[in-house]
């Protein structure tokens, strides 16, 4: 079921309907402050650190703290950088499907990406968030390594946090969507390309995604 949270529709100057979200309902989650370049100081931002364990811990703590203080987020938006061999560099995409690319217990008969004996969460977590201003859907493969070869690759985009964030949000029934800026080709040049391109991503994220968010009640 798609969630419609704090949302209204407005027509832009080109006569196209745009989804407008209320800023007060949203928690933005990022791995590293360097990815946001000090551009989100007026927003409610949670930084988790790198990797699935950090993402799980800080996302859970952020939600629980919010519930405790009467500020439970109604939507979580993840922004971050990512690599891709299928999408060109310097492209912002919305990831709506998430899988663990480094969960591999196929030797015991489980499917790749499947967590053994976990029946309540599907292998691929799909976003139930209706807020989608980009329309470039992608599957994000999350793992605790810097993917540089095809054996570590799953989906159109690879990162190190999104699946964990999506899983926590699913547990708390909070709509989740992830926007990834493609900095590199998930190859041997990934680290150099990431450093060179990461600063441009937050500009696109603000102009394309956050321009659809208002502080109006």
Given this model, what pLDDT does residue 150 score?
56
Given this model, what pLDDT does residue 184 score?
83
User: Comparing C-alpha atoms, which of 118, 142, 130 is closest to residue 175?
Assistant: 130
Given this model, what pLDDT does residue 5 score?
46
Give the separation between CA 49 and CA 73, rounded to whole angstroms: 20
Beta-sheet pairing, 125-126 with 92-100: antiparallel
- Which residues touch 5 (CB under 8 Å, ≥6 apart)? 21, 25, 74, 75, 129, 130, 131, 175
Q: Measuring CA to CA, how many Å separate 102 from each of 139, 202, 211?
A: 15, 27, 35
Split at pLDDT 50, 70, 90, the class of 149 is: low
Supply 210's token pair: 């956050």
SS3 (DSSP) at 33: helix
What is the distance between the terminal CA atoms of the chain, rounded to a whole angstrom? Answer: 25
Q: What does the pLDDT look like over 111-136, one tens digit per residue? A: 888 899 988 888 899 988 777 777 77
* Cβ–Cβ under 8 Å, residues 157 and 84: yes
Instruction: State the pTM of this model.
Output: 0.85
The DSSP-derived string for 38-96 is T--TTS-EEE--SSHHHHHHHHHHHHHHHHHTT---SEEEEEEEEE-SSS-TT-EEEEE
- Which residues touch 173 (CB under 8 Å, ≥6 apart)? none
Rounded to 5 degrees, what angle do the CA atoms 134, 103, 139 make? 15
CATH 3.40.50.1580 fits 7-214, yes or no: yes
The DSSP-derived string for 147-214 is --SGGG--SSEEESSHHHHHHHHHHTT--EEEEEEEEE-SSTTHHHHHHHHHHHHHHHIIIIIGGGEE
**Percent of the chain scoring above 90 in pLDDT:** 46
Q: What does the pLDDT look like over 173-214, one tens digit per residue? A: 999 999 999 988 877 777 788 888 888 999 999 998 888 777
Split at pLDDT 50, 70, 90, the class of 22 is: confident
Comparing 213 with 142, which gets the higher pLDDT? 142
* Cβ–Cβ under 8 Å, residues 128 and 3: yes
Residue boundaries of the structural domains of the chain: 7-214
Given this model, what pLDDT does residue 3 score?
43
Given this model, what pLDDT does residue 133 score?
77
């Amino acid at each position: 079921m798609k969630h419609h949270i704090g949302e209204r529709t407005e027509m832009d100057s080109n006569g196209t309907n745009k989804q407008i979200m209320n800023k007060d309902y949203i928690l933005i989650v990022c791995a590293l402050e360097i990815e946001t370049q000090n551009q989100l100081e007026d927003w409610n931002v949670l930084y988790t650190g790198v990797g699935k364990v950090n993402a799980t811990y800080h996302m859970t703590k952020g939600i629980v703290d919010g519930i405790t203080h009467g500020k439970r987020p109604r939507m979580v938006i993840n922004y971050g950088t990512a690599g891709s061999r299928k999408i060109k560099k310097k492209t912002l995409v919305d990831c709506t499907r998430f899988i663990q690319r480094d969960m591999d217990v196929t030797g015991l008969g489980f499917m790749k990406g499947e967590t053994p004996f976990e029946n309540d969460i599907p292998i691929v977590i799909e976003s139930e968030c209706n807020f989608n201003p980009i329309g470039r859907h992608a599957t994000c493969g999350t793992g605790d390594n810097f993917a540089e070869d095809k054996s570590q690759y799953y989906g159109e985009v690879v990162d190190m946090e999104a699946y964990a964030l999506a899983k926590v949000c699913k547990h708390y029934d909070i709509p989740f969507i992830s926007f990834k800026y493609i900095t590199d080709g998930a190859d041997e040049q990934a680290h150099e390309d990431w450093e060179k391109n990461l600063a441009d991503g937050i500009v696109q994220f603000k102009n394309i995604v956050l321009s659809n968010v208002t502080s109006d009640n």
